Amino acid sequence: MINLARLEKILGVEFKDEDILTQALTHRSYINENPDFHLSHNERMEFLGDAVLELIVTDFLFSQYPEKAEGELTSWRAALVNAKMLSSLAKEIGLNDFLLLSKGESRETGKARDYILANAFEALVGAMYLDPGYKKTEAFIKKCLLPKLPSIIEGELFRDAKSTLQEVAQEKEGITPSYKVLKEWGPDHAKQFIVGVFLGKKKVGEGEGSSKQEAEVQAAQDALKTINNS
């Protein structure tokens, strides 16, 4: 089984009920492969953690930047809590080594694993909120996530990629980008989409996400890299 004590040391957080931490690390695929496992998968905790994470980040931005308008704070928050950022944080703390996955899922890499890691990070935040509580969760987020904000602001990573791409494409090519779903799979509660962005008939970017909107944003970011490097 996973070494929970080692993970708690990395997190700087101790759990009274280790089942709560274990459940946060349990992917649906593991339960499908081990139906007698004594815990459920982590999707409910992910749902909770998503809300807790957003509240902590919102509270911080609201109190620290009283002069900033709602629209700008919303953009900053979106850049802090998106799947790319959360999967990156999950990798930084080595969360991959502690996940309970099916044998098949454990062999997955790339974007598929990134989304599992991002969701597990949210579930971990949900678990912290349940045990040991809000204050410890807030301290953890302030230590590992909120220090990323200055580089987001400096690099303007909060800018809406779709709007930026539209501006660049119209300026350089005189064309408005169009988006097309190239592939979708998974059950209704856990759909995944791959979306391509096109300038005319030319595909200039591709993105994956758990919603069409998320995949479109990823595709726009990919296209901006392509256009800026060309």
Mind telling me the catalytic residues?
Answer: 50, 122
Contacts of 212-220 spanning 24+ positions with Cβ under 8 A? 212/179, 212/181, 214/82, 214/83, 215/181, 216/162, 216/179, 217/161, 217/162, 218/84, 219/179, 219/195, 220/161, 220/162, 220/164, 220/165, 220/177
Question: What's the rounded Cα separation, in Å, for the pair 189 and 175?
Answer: 35
* Secondary element (H or E) of residue 192: strand 192-199
Query: Phi and psi at residue 47, in whole multiples of 5°?
Result: -60, -45
